[in-house]
Chain A
């Protein structure tokens, strides 16, 4: 049985349909990259998976249980954690308080404030500092740490490299690499195609709210993905940058 099943999911922002008839299955310990242009519906899809945005129709099934109508604060307790785009730390709270808050989910597991500091040692000196005063990379680390402390079965990472310096992105991805062994299933949205391909085991490509391409990383060529990414068949591989 798959850990996470999404069945013909439709999500709307008012009249705008952001996610159309999306279906996929995720197995335990998979790392799946969601790629696609801006506005392809990736962030909305992730917010719907986390329960922060209720879908118009379709089903989200976690570990055999239908969680479609479970609101976000209870879905965290079921084991889905989202690191939202733009991090959304509580800026007036200290780093420690941000992490301690996630204990509210009440899930036991390998992750605690201490083990988060093992993975993100760069946070330790800023423990008592307000989260808003941290650098972008440190804030991203804290946001990932906050999600980890809820001990999720499924971790959703939305654009973790957005707005970070190249060095900070390197750091964040190095630590994601350290999570891979930790039996966590990871779904991530990433604009940087090379990075997505280097960390993921499977790629799901979205275009205008629909899944247009889906396969294991090794079975897809870069050209196939770029074609699906832009929804065009006239791809010139040299001319296209995906940074």
Chain B
């Protein structure tokens, strides 16, 4: 594989990372909640697709019509049952609550499905391995391209939705000043529940492609969370488009790392993440007082 090939594969891989980061970034940018159960919820969606395919032979693309709304509904309940009650006690409690929720669900999944990996690859025909030749020595997987296209479409659609619709405006206004939206007739609680539903809808899509591409085990959630978090954080986590870009930077870094050494894949990804995060802190030159104020906010 050459550098151009690695670049192309890295960008496509970035689409996958952006897709799994979408719900995490959306929830953070709207509700300022870091959802540590994000990866676990992606895996829950993955198992839903697997169960439908393995037991009843339902094609995952068809199943998405049911699973994505079901995940959205779960998002509504998750907001009302976990995020809303815990966010009344400061910034730290919802993080702990989502972490606890993740552990609980991981183990319930383990109880049900055991430790072995589950994959949708056998149920999607040739899609999991077939590819297009786009140049000498350069092949792109059809599934990887599909994931990339879906990611771009999803980020584009969400950005357009936030920018142009009344509901999108209400979501942005609530994210900026939840105490004031009530004065113009908007219920912040309802908007947050809708935003959580949208976030988990994207989690449903991410879960589908994850179980097609990589397969999952009940404990895959933490790895998913790690890559989603890195993509969102490299992008800056504040805007959706930057999360897409963050996913691509992570994907390309891993892809180049793999070119240098077989073990370089993960190390390169994590290194770029650390460099960008530390670089951002150094460049913004926070004073000691600012850091203290920031910490005080959390504790």
Chain A interface residues (CB < 8 Å from chain B): 50-52, 71-74, 76-77, 81-82, 84, 88, 90-93, 97-98, 100-106, 146-147, 150
Contact = CB atoms under 8 A, between A and B. Distances in A.
B183 A147 contact: yes
Nearest to A97: B169
A94 B246 CA distance: 27
B182 A100 contact: no
A104 B185 contact: yes
6 contacts: A50-B183, A73-B187, A76-B183, A88-B179, A90-B173, A90-B176
A74 B170 CA distance: 15
B73 interface: no
B169 A73 contact: no
Interface in B147-176: 166, 169-170, 172-173, 176
A73 B185 CA distance: 4
Contact of A73 (B172, B176, B182): B182
A42 to B, nearest CB: 17
Contact of A72 (B169, B173, B182): B182
B183 A82 contact: yes
B172 A76 contact: no
B232 to A, nearest CB: 19
| B contact patch SS | helix
Given A76-B185, A104-B186, A88 B169 contact: no
Q: What size tier do the contact residues of chain B reach?
A: 10 to 19
B195 to A, nearest CB: 15
Contacts of B183: 50, 52, 72-73, 76, 81-82, 84, 88, 147
B184 A101 contact: yes
B166 A92 contact: no
A71 B182 contact: yes
A71 B178 CA distance: 14
Given A90-B173, A93-B173, A104-B166, A84 B180 contact: yes
Chain A CB count within 10 A is highest, among B166, B169, B170, B187, for B169
A52 B170 contact: no
B222 interface: no
B145 interface: no
B177 interface: yes
B259 interface: no
Contact of B185 (A90, A92, A150): A150
B93 interface: no
B91 interface: no
Contacts of A104: 166, 170, 184-186
